Structures are given as structure tokens and as C-alpha cells.
Structure 1
Amino acid sequence: MKPSGPLLTLLAGLLLGIFMLSLNATSGTKASSSYDGTTATPRPSGPASTPAATPAPSTAPPASPSATPTPAPDSDYAGRTADDTAAVSVSVRDGKAIGYFCDGSSQESWLKGDVKGDGSMRLTGEHGARLDGVLRAGKIDGTVEIRDRTWQFSAARAVRPSGLYRATAEVRGAKIDGGWIVLQNGRQVGILNRDGKPAAAPRIDPASGAVVVDGTRLTARPVVP
């Protein structure tokens, strides 16, 4: 019975060896399976797309900021029409203007409007009267259109007492409305309306604006917008 002991030991060792070989074989298969399961990066189907080209930077210079318009200088302007039959005066203040056209006998017109930053202006008055002009280099050049007739004019800067004057009042029951243009050489052109009837205006004193109408002393004052 003693020989069975070594035999059992040998048999146990053999079973252990078989078990270890089986375990190693199983571990190797799993490792191999794990390695084979690694997936490659999939390739896109269809033709390969070409990457979009990066646009070249623009070589155009940046736009310069627009210049701020310069306001027209505040001043008065007076002058004659090209045919020397009438006078024109314009008073400019803070981008606003009042103009006066007068032939000194029967035709006149008061006009008003805005002066743009470039010196251009369009003044309008009653009955479709219109003055279009440009203020440049200390003078206004343009045209006046009244009752389907057009005059060209040029008005230079006027320094007091030259310039534009007006007087309104009621004298002996009559409504008085007078306008005067005092030119740079001292010459005066004006019309005095009595109840809407025009006539040549009497002279004013440029220093004080005093004028006598039908025995009544009035004051003609400088006109500003």
C-alpha cells in the first residue's frame, strides 16, 4: 500500500500541470482576442474632399472717415445782379439764411432757407421765388428766380453799416413794411410797402437805421435769421 503515495503525488502534479497549461492557453486567447479587436480609424466613403483655400487678405486701403462739413461763416453779403438792374443781400447765421432781392422801384422778394456745410443754399419765398447760391471765398454767387424771370448775381461780404435792413410799423393807419440793401460803396436800394403797395424807399441813416415815413420817424434794423 505504500507505493500508492508517490503515485498519488505524481498524479496530483500532473493534474496541476494540465490545469496550468489550460489556464495559460485561455489567457493567451483572451489577450489575442483583445488585440485583434482594436479598430482602425474609418476612411470616409466617396472621393476625398479638397480643403477650401484660405482667401488672401484684402489689399484695399481702409476707407478714410468722411470730413466733417464746415459751417458757413456768419456774415452779411450784398451785391448787384449781373445786369445791374437790382440788388441782392443775404444774411447768414448758424447755418440759416435770409435773402432779399430788390430792384428799388416795384419788385422785391424776401427769401429764407438753410446753408449746407459746402456753402450751397436754396432760399425760397412767396409766389415760388427762389435763390440758389454758393458761399465760397467770402462771397455768394448764384441766381434769383422771381415770377418766371431769372437774374444772376454776386454778393460780397458786407461789413456794417453795409448789409440788409428792414422796418415794419403802422403809420397813420397804414401798414408799413420796408426793406433796404446798403451796398459796400454806400449806395442804397430799397422798397417801402404801404398796405402792400410798393414804391421806392426813402434813405435810412446807416449809422442808426433812422428813417422818416410820412412824417413819422422809424428805425430800420439789421436783418438776421
Structure 2
Amino acid sequence: MKRSGPLYTLLAGLLLALFMLSLNATTGTKGASYGGDQPAATPSPTGTPDATPSPKPKPEPESKPSPPPNADYAGRTDDDTAAVSVSVRDGKAVAYFCDGRDQESWLRGSVEDDGTMRLTGKGGSELDGTLRAGKIDGTVDIRKRKWTFTARKAVKPSGLYRATAEVRGADIDGGWIVLQNGRQVGILNRDGKPAAAPEIDPATGAVTVDGTGLTALPVVP
């Protein structure tokens, strides 16, 4: 009976070993090599990059007014004491103011695309006008006097004429405005002395000065 003691001890040891193995199987952690939980992988970006923004359309350029047409204009001052004629070519203009006695002035300058013009002449003479709807409305300042005028489109033989020559030793410079109704207003200078000009033939520009035949030509800038 005394031999059963070691046997009991051996059996208890086996039971303890089995208990420990069972405990390890139920409570132990699995190794990483056996598919333990892995940290979540960072998802790779799948979105497409933003498309390059389309360039903004350029604003349409504002249309500029057309340059004034080439034409001649003639008319009277509002007080009917003088005449004004303007010749326009390729954005340039030449004008003549004349009272048919002793007041005259030649003026030159540019015409803007909107029809406005500021022409200047000797002695500070100035013409300010606006070309619109086939006529020029404006003012002329000459020797501290101002006239307002309206010059309408003139069709040949109406318009502006000039003749320069030497006749019998005198320098001749004549200017003529032929109005739409055929009336003529002009001044003839002999060595700088103004006087009423003889009439020209509008069809040919022919004129006789002191017995000498001259030709008055249309004036253009």
C-alpha cells in the first residue's frame, strides 16, 4: 500500500502538465507568422488629379468707329456773313474760312474716327467741328472773333479751290468756296493784300487775273 504514494505523485504531475497545456492552448496568443491581425494598409490614392482649368475666353475687342469718308463740305456761317469749306481725305482735313472781302484763313489738321476735328491756321486761327450725318457743325475762331457754321456735303463742282501764281510781278494767292447753290465766295491776295476774288468757271477752274488766265484747282489735304 505504501507504493501507491509515488504513483499518485506521478499521476498528479501528469494532470498538472495536461492542465497547463490546455491553459496555454486557450489563453496563449498566436504568432505573427500564423496570420495574426495585420495593421490596415494605407489605401493608395485612386482619385484623378484635377483637370487644368480652361483659359478664360478673351473679351471681344470693342469695335471702333469707321474713319470718316473722303468728301468735301461747304456752307455758311450762322450769321450768313462768311462761308466755310472743309476737304477731308484719309483722316486729314484742310479748311478755308472766307467772308469774300478781307477776312480769310486756311486751316489744317486731323479728323478723329468719331468725326471730331480741331484744325489750326496762322495767327492762332482755329476750327473745331464734328462730322456727323453728312455735315460738319462747328466754330471758327479768327482774330478774337468766333463764328458758328454748318457745312454740308458738297458734290463737284461745289467745294474748295485755290490758285497761286505770279502775275505781272505780283504774287497771287486766291481761294474760292463754291456753295451747293452755285454761289461763290472768294478772296484774291496780291502781294498779301486781300480783295474780292473774280469768279472761276466751276467746271474747269479757269479764272482771269489782271488779264492772265489761271486755273484754280480743287484743294485736298
Superposition TM-score tier, normalisation by shorter sequence: 0.7 to 0.9
Give the TM-score taking structure 2 as reference length.
Answer: 0.74
Cα shift at 1:63:
5.1
1:9-67 deviations in Å (ceiling 9; x for gaps): xxxxxxxxxxxxxxxxxxx9xx9xxxxxx9xxxxxxxxxxxxxxxxxxxxxx9855222
Q: Aligned residue for 2:70?
A: 74
* Structure 2 counterpart of 1:214: 210
SS of residue matched to 1:99: strand
SS of the equivalent of 1:127 reads helix
Structure 1 residue aligned with 2:93: 97
Find the partner of 2:122 among 110, 121, 126. Answer: 126
Question: What residue identity is the alignment partner of 1:130?
Answer: E
| Aligned position for 1:149 | 145
Q: How does 1:155-166 map to 2 (within 5 A)?
A: 155-166=151-162
Amino acid at match of 2:132: R
Query: What are the superposed Cα offsets for residues 123-150 of structure 1, whole Å, 9 maximum, x if unpaired?
Result: 0000000000000000000000001100
Match of 1:17 in 2: none
Q: Runs of 4 or more off by more than 4 Å in structure 1? A: 61-64
Following the alignment from structure 1 to structure 2, what is the Cα–Cα distance between the partners of residues 178 and 168? 6
In structure 2, give the amino acid aligned to 1:92.
Answer: V
Cα distance between partner residues in 1 of 2:216 and 2:104:
17
Distance 2:107 2:67 in 1: 20
**1:143 aligned counterpart, secondary structure:** strand
Distance in 1 between residues matched to 2:215 and 2:187, nearest whole Å:
15
What SS is found at the alignment partner of 1:179?
Answer: strand
User: Structure 1 unaligned runs (5+)?
Assistant: 1-27, 32-37, 39-60
The answer to whether structure 1 residue 174 and structure 2 residue 170 are counterparts is: yes
Q: Report how many aligned residue pairs link the two structures.
A: 181
Q: Which amino acid aligns with 2:159?
A: G
- SS in structure 1 at match of 2:123: helix
CA distance in 2, matches of 1:81, 1:107: 13
Name the CA distance, whole Å, in 2 between partners of 1:106 and 1:133. 23
In structure 2, stretches of 5+ residues that fail to align are 1-30, 34-38, 40-56
Across the aligned residues of Structure 1 and Structure 2, the Cα RMSD in angstroms comes to 2.7
2 CA distance for matches of 1:217 and 1:82? 34
2:188 alignment counterpart: 192
Letter in 1 for 2:75: G
Counterpart secondary structure, 1:110? strand
- Correspondence for 2:113: 117
Between the two proteins, what is the percent identity of the paired residues? 76
